[in-house]
Chains A and B, each alone.
Chain A
Amino acid sequence: MTTAGVAAEHLEHALHDDRPFIRKYVFSTDHKIIGIQFLFLSLFFLLVGGVLAMVIRWQLGFPGKAMPLPGAWPSTMAPDGVVLPEFYTALVTMHGTFMVFFAIMPLLVGVFANYLIPLKIGAPDMAFPRLNMWSFWLMIPAGALMVAGFFVEGGAASSGWTGYAPLSANPEYTGATYGQQLWCLSLIVFALSSLLGSVNYITTVVNLRAPGMTWFRLPLSIWALFITAILALLAVPILAGALIMLLFDVVLHTNFFLPAGGGQPLMWQHLFWFFGHPEVYILILPAMGIASDLIANGSRKPIFGYHSMVYAICGIAFLGWVVWGHHMFQSGMNPRLGTTFMVSTMFIAVPSAIKVFNWMGTMWRGNIHFTTPMLNGIAFVAMFTIGGLSGIFMAATPADMYIHDTYYIVAHIHYVLFGGSLFAIFGGIYFWFPKMFGKMMSERLGKIHFALTFVAYNLTFFPMHILGIGGHMRRIYDPSQYEFLRPLQPMNEFISLSAFALFISQLPFIWNFFHSLFWGKKADINPWHDNGLEWTAPSPPPHGNFETTPTVYHGPYEFSRPDMEQDYLPQNQPLPAPQPVAH
């Protein structure tokens, strides 16, 4: 292959980079370094969120029993290892907050948008590299402020990750005065970071595509990240506005959400979910895009119905703006509005179904390679399907009346965010790790990690549906308070044990990640035989990515062309000339 050869030839020259260490790896403006920085940061927060989940599960499985290392827990949180109710509410709040804002969203957007967009569209870097750097470095104070909540008087914010007012708006109700303020401040800084990222991603995709990279030659991962950036651009400022008002309610004693001063508690919910529902798609669309790339590559087949996949992404993104009320069916909102939101919500099933069937169509008559990325991609489809289908129950307003605020919802969100987003994220990490670090991850450990995670994950979250049908409320510290929940306690115990197993199942990943980073097998330029432009640059690509600007000749899914021996064709290589017709 000529491109690979050319790139390899220039590799040494390209890697000669005279920037000082601090500019190269710390305050770097290189989108690849920023993506990798986001990777480490958000994997750290994923771990933090996971640890919090383990404490939650301990309390739910074994209420009132002392945790391991009873002496190690601060007496304000868990004296003698027994979780306090106020600590429990802080735990559920911070678990949700960390996972949504500091783990899944930066993993999808911070890592993959940063790393992949310029490489996949053939650009040397982002449109605004310095803003990009700021986008990462703002996440550090945002994360620090959030973590600090645990260590201030009154503990961390305890009003749920949704921060429903007035519980969040008046410190007297939770006692977490400083924790709530830190929560607001942290998320405002987070919003700024997200804004800088979004401006970059959108501008870059619109203006910096390599010659020949037309809109309908973009890989679906880039389409998804682009649409996601638009959602984040427009949704996150709504959150910022709401947070500012909430912060003012707490600090300046304004009355936006406090009914005593004429404010409206439901307005918080409208603002939060007007942001929150697009946010849900911010958390799933990039995963869909990544899964599309993984599945086409693993099946060695063009993606089935590329155009309708693109339209489905746009359709989901559009519908995401008109369904926020389905989080509020039981909130006291006018029930007629509920009907409207039910109908709009039901329609989301349509583009989602299109995507699921198209992924299946991609695998149909393929030549499926069971690589670790592909396995994770398949798991994404299988699990997202469950998460999507369980959503239909909640969309139906009367059924929602019963399952709203129960473990059914908890099961649903984890099927979408863990079964969906996180499997795609793991798949993406396994897939692009060789490009990021120039080393292969161990396939064997990767498959062990996948198998353990897949089993433990289903054992953890599937029974939560049954708890929900049994009426088990969310966010309750001690289910044994209720007679009707006592028979469900063995299931709670089972879920907790599965959750611990799920946590332990991540050890092979952590080991694999760091071991491969230093001692992994050296990666080729294109180990997965993929078509994306990133695979035509060296592994890892040098500062500036491409020695010469690539020219793009076709779409990203030219796998197994009948007129070619090789079963892939990188985007920078022309299609084979049509066979001359005999005269």
Chain B
Amino acid sequence: MSHAATHTIEHAEEGLGVYTQKLGMWVFLCSEVMFFTALIGSYIILRWGSAESWPVPAETLNIPVTALNTFILICSSVSMVKAYAAAVHDDQRGLKRWLLTTVLGGATFVGVQAYEYIHLIGKGFLPSSGLFGSTFYTMTGFHGFHVTCGVISMAYCTLRAFRGKYAGGNFHGIETVGLYWHFVDLVWIILFTIVYLF
């Protein structure tokens, strides 16, 4: 009976023409958009919806370091694209190399963020330090959590790549994880702009 399962999926009524994993990821990302909308929307209401003045972010946060970190995350998105291209062209060496680069980039980002947190907490800037503290830690914290999840799933993909699971142009898994990774990257660009720069 279990063979029937895989059999039917291939012969289904015309869907969106997108394979199921990728469609599932898109659907999931819609939900993620709403989640971050709740957090970012609240930040916008709290910051610009009241007359009270907001602290200047640059006085508390280290913008150059985070800017560099942002650059690293963007680069990891680029390397993800490279990994996807390698998977599509069945270039196993390239796939492994670019996946590793991406994992490394993501891990670096999380590491720098952890360092930033330790530094800020040491300075006495806490989640309870006014609305700025509340929103800063909640938004960047949940983004960091998403990056961590991304790093873990990509590490898993890397492991699978080394075991040759993506051989023969089997790129679906890579593309699906890649979508998530680009999304997380995009969210960070928004967060960096409105939390650090404005």
Contact = CB atoms under 8 A, between A and B. Distances in A.
A34 B38 CA distance: 31
A262 B46 contact: yes
Given A17-B1, A241-B38, A264-B49, A252 B127 contact: yes
Interface string A534-554: 000000001111111100100
A553 to B, nearest CB: 12
A209 interface: yes
Given A248-B127, A255-B130, A262-B131, A267 B42 contact: yes
A244 B2 CA distance: 40
A252 B128 contact: yes
A254 B38 contact: no
Nearest to B5: A124
A77 interface: no
Contacts of A264: 45-46, 49-50
Nearest to A266: B45
A238 interface: yes
B38 A211 contact: no
Contacts of B19: 207
A276 B30 CA distance: 18
Interface centre among A122, A210, A237 (most CB of B within 10 A): A237
B194 interface: no
Interface stretch (A56-64, A86-94, A197-205, A353-361): A197-205
B52 interface: yes
Interface string A233-272: 1111110111011001000111110000111100100110
A548 B7 CA distance: 9
B23 interface: yes
Contacts of A128: 20, 24
Contacts of B28: 195, 199
Contact of A544 (B5, B12, B24): B5
A530 interface: no
A211 B9 CA distance: 10
B35 interface: yes
A255 B128 contact: yes
B1 A544 contact: yes
A206 B128 CA distance: 45
A237 B4 contact: no
Given A203-B20, A208-B12, A254-B128, A235 B27 contact: no
B193 interface: no
B27 A207 contact: no
Given A237-B35, A238-B37, A252-B127, A211 B13 contact: yes
Interface centre among A127, A241, A242, A545 (most CB of B within 10 A): A241
A542 to B, nearest CB: 6
B2 A544 contact: yes
B153 to A, nearest CB: 14
A237 B40 CA distance: 13
Contact of A199 (B7, B24, B137): B24
A538 to B, nearest CB: 12
B4 A547 contact: yes
Nearest to A237: B35
Nearest to B10: A549
Given A209-B13, A549-B11, A544 B138 contact: no
Nearest to B4: A544
A313 interface: no
Nearest to B36: A241
Given A252-B128, A256-B46, A210 B13 contact: yes
B34 A238 contact: yes
B134 to A, nearest CB: 4
Q: How large is the interface on A (under 10, 10 to 19, 20 to 34, 35 or more residues)?
A: 35 or more
B5 A125 contact: yes
B12 A207 contact: yes
A145 interface: no
Contacts of A214: 13
Contacts of A195: 28, 31
Contacts of A254: 127-128, 133-134, 137-138
A7 interface: no
Contacts of B9: 123-124, 207-208
Contacts of A546: 4, 8
Given A263-B131, A544-B4, A271 B13 contact: no
B34 A549 contact: no
B43 to A, nearest CB: 10
Interface in A209-233: 209-214, 233
Given A127-B24, A206-B15, A262-B52, A237 B32 contact: yes
B34 to A, nearest CB: 4
Interface string B63-107: 000000000000000000000000000000000000000000000
A122 B4 CA distance: 12
Interface centre among A122, A200, A263 (most CB of B within 10 A): A263
B156 interface: no
Contact of A213 (B2, B5, B13, B128): B13
Given A244-B138, A255-B130, A549 B46 contact: no
A14 interface: yes
Nearest to B13: A209
A241 B30 contact: no
A253 B39 CA distance: 17
B20 A127 contact: yes
Closest 3 A/B residue pairs (Cβ): A241-B38, A254-B134, A237-B35
Given A233-B27, A549-B8, 16 more contacts: A198-B31, A207-B9, A207-B12, A207-B19, A233-B31, A237-B35, A240-B38, A241-B38, A242-B42, A245-B42, A248-B134, A252-B127, A254-B133, A261-B128, A542-B1, A547-B4
30 contacts: A122-B8, A123-B9, A123-B12, A125-B5, A127-B20, A199-B24, A199-B27, A206-B15, A207-B9, A207-B19, A207-B20, A210-B8, A210-B12, A210-B13, A233-B31, A234-B31, A237-B35, A244-B39, A245-B39, A248-B138, A252-B127, A254-B137, A255-B134, A256-B134, A261-B130, A263-B134, A264-B45, A270-B45, A544-B4, A546-B8
Interface of B: 1-2, 4-5, 7-9, 11-13, 15-16, 18-20, 23-24, 27-28, 30-32, 34-39, 42, 45-46, 49-50, 52, 127-128, 130-131, 133-135, 137-138, 142
